[in-house]
Structure 1
Amino acid sequence: MNPYFQEVLDAHQLIQEWLGNKEAKEEVCETLLARFSPAYSMVTMGGGLLDYPKVNAFFRTQRGARPGLKIGISDMRIMAASDHGATVVYRETQQLPGESPTLRFSTVVFEAKQNGRVIWRHLQETAIPQS
């Protein structure tokens, strides 16, 4: 599988485990946070801007905060790619037990490090209205 697509899937598996399971091991959070650049930025669905310290603080306080969370990823597409990274667009569905799902389009900018590691540099989330 494309390494950028695999990174999207792997990161969201960690997010699902960390947010959805109060018994998640601390290593889940550490592994997740190590995927983000120290210069990471994110535009949330509500229009907020988060930097790495804010994302770090958020995840560290959210173990099990969304019990039973399920995250689905689909429609991944490479929008641009180079030796230095890629921009990937995907559709994300989040659902809690007994609730309607939330849908979003996400655009992530990845940096490719010389050691082959892929890190998240920027993420833009846009809500998909539900009819």
Structure 2
Amino acid sequence: MDMTAEHEIHLLHDKLQAWFRAEIAADALADLMEHFCADFSMVGISGRRLDRAAVQALFVGGHGARPGLRIAIEAVQAVEAPSPLAMLRYREGHAVGVGETAWRESLAVLRQEGGHWRWLALHEVPVA
């Protein structure tokens, strides 16, 4: 059964929240990385471009590093894109514990591969 690209946005962020909280074991890294295309890249809020290997290294170093992390996804909006691509804009909020939520605007490009949505590109900017 194929899921929607929007569902993939929520699914991956749920897994990332669990990863950074160490609610899933470190051996779940391979499952987490299955969500990303081999040629994935992203530009995070720091403005640095990261390829798939750099993102994997970030995950390895971040397992359990943010106990209490809460990730919220809202205002998901599809942007027209040719098949097998999907582009989605969304707001992503991060907070730890009862701390203030830091919001970012994100644009994700996903590609359907073998019946699954995988992340191809992500661009994030902080909300002013």
TM-score by length of 1: 0.90
- Deviations along 1:48-99, one digit per CA (max 9) or x if unpaired, are 1100110011101211100110101010011123321111000111100132
Q: Which amino acid aligns with 2:124?
A: E
Whether 1:48 and 2:52 are equivalent positions in the alignment is no
Q: Which residue of 1 aligns with 2:90?
A: 90
Q: Which residue of 2 aligns with 1:4?
A: 5
Q: CA deviation at 1:117?
A: 0.9
Q: CA deviation at 1:27?
A: 4.4
Q: Which residue of 2 aligns with 1:116?
A: 115
| SS of residue matched to 1:75 | strand
TM-score by length of 2: 0.92
**Separation in 1 of the partners of 2:29 and 2:68?**
17
**Separation in 1 of the partners of 2:49 and 2:102?**
20
Q: Which residue of 1 aligns with 2:69?
A: 69
Identity of paired residues, percent?
29
Which ranges in structure 1 are unaligned for 5 or more consecutive residues? none
Q: Is the Cα–Cα contact under 8 Å of residues 84 and 111 in structure 1 kept in the other structure? A: yes
Q: How many residues are aligned here?
A: 126
CA RMSD of aligned residues (A): 1.3
| SS of residue matched to 1:64 | coil
Q: Which residue of 1 aligns with 2:57?
A: 57
**Separation in 2 of the partners of 1:28 and 1:91?**
26
Which ranges in structure 2 are unaligned for 5 or more consecutive residues? none
**Separation in 2 of the partners of 1:72 and 1:109?**
19
Runs ≥4 in structure 1, deviation > 4 angstroms? Answer: none
